[in-house]
Structure 1
Amino acid sequence: MNVNQTLETEEDLLTCLRIQVHHPQQNSRGLFRLLPVDRRTTCSADDPLRLGRDSQSCTFALEDPRVSRKQLALHAYRSARCPDLLFCVQNLSQRGRMSVNGSALGYLERLDLPDKALVRFGEYQLLLSREPGEAKASFEVEFEVLNVPPSRETIPSAPPCRETAPSVPSMTPVAETGYLGDQRSAGPLEVDESLIYDS
């Protein structure tokens, strides 16, 4: 194959990793002032993207003494099952807890990220979402500061580029009355004798 055919061109659309960040004290403490907020930064896909308080060893830094020197790393990778550039997250903090979509991630553990994921550590919340592109050797990162916690948004837990099982119809929970089904069509099967009903 000709070498020129394997090189990316400037016209190749880059995958964009959007990172929306929130901290309850972000306005008073200037925690995100070192981040390139609201502008895209191009990163090499073969280098991990590190986030922490040490601006020398991290790609992006948070100005907060409570954040670990190296808090987390985002690794870009490709899979034989999916043509897109994908990402996984790794916890680099020995002392801090971290969770991804509610699942705990221990020190040096990695987890493949779905197209949208909520990462939490300390009081920080990071909503990561991936916009696919064609380029394989590089990607873009765009930070945005959110005024409200992103945990209020529902995050799908399905992994990226994998076939998911057909959805199971939701079941109506069993009420304390013991009745299962459409609550509008009939009364309960059991009646609490302490209640007085008007006839």
Structure 2
Amino acid sequence: MMNVSQTIETEEEFLTCLRIKLYHPQQSFKGLFGLLPVGNKTKHAADDPLRLGRDAQTCTFALIDARVSRKQLALHAYRTPQSPDMLFTIQNLSQRGQLRVNSSALGYLERTDLPDKALIRFGEYEMLIVRESGEAKASFQVEFEVLAVPPSRESCTCVPSLAPVMDTGSCVMNSFPAQGRALGPLENDEPSHLVAFEARTNSV
């Protein structure tokens, strides 16, 4: 007869996994993803929201970027009586800017169900989140990958909001307005020297 510990170990082999593919146009020389466990799977309790932002003390994962909000977004796991799958919602935690999920825009504290494949945009960041179903109920995994090209251009079929351009074969985000493509907002309490540093960097 299999004991409890063996049962748990067997179940944990089939964790739901969120594959998060990241891109930023200045990632190659600014070290934006230096605090992320890129290429390694990390395990997380399903009842604890996964937060991404600038503040490494309050967020599960942090980005090294003064233009990112202290708390940018959160992923919440949940289950329903109708499905055995672990599902997720995504919530905008930034008070200063919208979070775009495929063709939808979320304001502060607004949330929506996360599709099995979703393109997330805030500031100049693009995140392609792909959910792979598992059987474990108490935890899930996250795996980060940094892309060399924007996920919006990697595949014209990755999300419904992408449309091909006939002349070049590239993809354009028709559903994202200009303000969604602008640099992310600065928080009110941003240190002035960080703002000045960002300004000098962007002007180079």
Over the matched positions of the two proteins, sequence identity in percent amounts to 68
CA distance in structure 2 between the aligned counterparts of 1:36 and 1:11, rounded to whole angstroms: 25
Match of 2:67 in 1: 66
- TM-score w.r.t. length of structure 1: 0.74
Q: Which stretches of structure 1, 4 residues or more, deviate above 4 A after TM superposition?
A: none
- Determine the structure 1 residue equivalent to 2:19: 18
Is the 1:72–1:91 contact (alpha carbons within 8 Å) kept by the matching residues of 2? yes
Q: Deviations over 1:118-173 (max 9, x none)?
A: 0000000000001111101000000000000001222345xxxxxxxxxxxxxxxx
More helix as a share of residues: 2
- Cα RMSD (Å) of the superposition? 1.7
Shift of 1:48: 0.1
Is the Cα contact below 8 Å between 2:119 and 2:159 reproduced in 1? no
Q: Give the alignment of 1:1-199 within 5 angstroms.
A: 4=4, 9-12=8-11, 13-152=14-153, 153=155, 154-156=157-159
Q: Check the 8 A contact 1:101/1:155 in 2, yes or no.
A: no
Gaps of 5+ in 2: 161-204
Structure label with greater radius of gyration: 1
| TM-score, structure 2 as length reference | 0.72
SS of 2:9's partner is coil
Post-superposition CA distance 1:80-99 (Å, at most 9, x none): 22110011100000002210
Q: Give me the whole-angstrom Cα distance separating, in 1, the residues matched to 2:94 and 2:7.
A: 35
The 1:132/1:10 distance shift into structure 2, 3 A limit, reads same
Query: What is the DSSP-based 3-state SS (H/G/I as helix, E as strand, rest coil) of the residue aligned with 1:42?
Result: strand
